[in-house]
Amino acid sequence: MADQVASQAEGQELPSDRVADLVEVIVCGLVDDPDAVSLDVTDDANGALIEIGCAEADTGKVIGRRGRTIHAIRTVARALGQRVGTQVQVEVLD
């Protein structure tokens, strides 16, 4: 973890940053208010947790019917995470 903090201080991009950028692009394309979208990325030794925050009216669009949309977002994020060498979890904040 100290290595991750040091690399962030030097201006290097973490693998989870690439995944978070992709998730942000996908979510902003789905919602009516893209300015209200926020991502909180937490890195630790096990991987990264990406928490999606958005306007209350847009939460349903991000989750989708029966959770299909968020499931697809998680699948794409995990695939890119494997490619860049990190495990990724994606959650939607209420």
pLDDT band at 10 (very low <50, low <70, confident <90, very high): low
Position 7 pLDDT exceeds 50: no
Query: Does some domain include residue 5?
Result: no
Selected residue with higher pLDDT from 33 and 8: 33
Q: What percent of the chain has pLDDT over 70?
A: 88
Contact 52, 37 (CB under 8 A): yes
pLDDT digits (tens, 9 = 90+) for 29-45: 999 999 999 999 999 88
Distant-in-sequence, close-in-space partners of 76: CB < 8 Å, separation ≥ 6: 22, 26
Query: Does some domain include residue 3?
Result: no
pLDDT band at 14 (very low <50, low <70, confident <90, very high): confident
Domain with 56 in it: what CATH number?
3.30.300.20
Q: What pTM did the predictor assign?
A: 0.84
The C-alpha angle with vertex 26 and arms to 54 and 6, in degrees rounded to 5, equals 80
Query: Does some domain include residue 78?
Result: yes
pLDDT band at 94 (very low <50, low <70, confident <90, very high): confident
**Number of structural domains found in the chain:** 1
